[in-house]
Amino acid sequence: MPTDSLESRIDLSEQLVFRHGREIRSTRFEAARKTADLADRLRVLERLVQILTELLIALISACFGVVVAADVAGNWSSARHVFACDVDC
């Protein structure tokens, strides 16, 4: 028959195993929740970058359109005013 000291050590080890398993499950759940939250944030940031990229391309296209229109019309002075250019074009 085991002694009280041996039984208390066995009980202690069982408690540690149970507590350790509970902490692992808790940590796993928290990591999964944070991963999902970060994935949502990443999706929002990707959408923002896409919108800003499209906006930048549209602005560059508009600038080139003004320059081409001024070149076709032969009126570079209007293009210089748009771009605030002091160089004689």
Q: Where are the domains of the chain?
A: 4-83
DSSP state for residue 64 in the 8-state scheme: H
Q: Which helix (H) or strand (E) holds 8?
A: helix 4-73
Q: C-alpha distances in angstroms, 25 versus 22, 31, 32?
A: 5, 10, 11
**Top mean-pLDDT range of 3-12, 29-38, 63-72:** 29-38
pLDDT at 1: 47
CB of 83 within 8 A of CB of 71?
A: no
pLDDT at 75: 65
pLDDT at 28 over 60: yes
pLDDT in tens, 53-74: 999 999 999 988 888 887 777 7
Token digits of residue 37: 């939250």
User: What is residue 11's predicted lDDT score, i.e. its pLDDT?
Assistant: 73
Give the pLDDT score at 60.
94
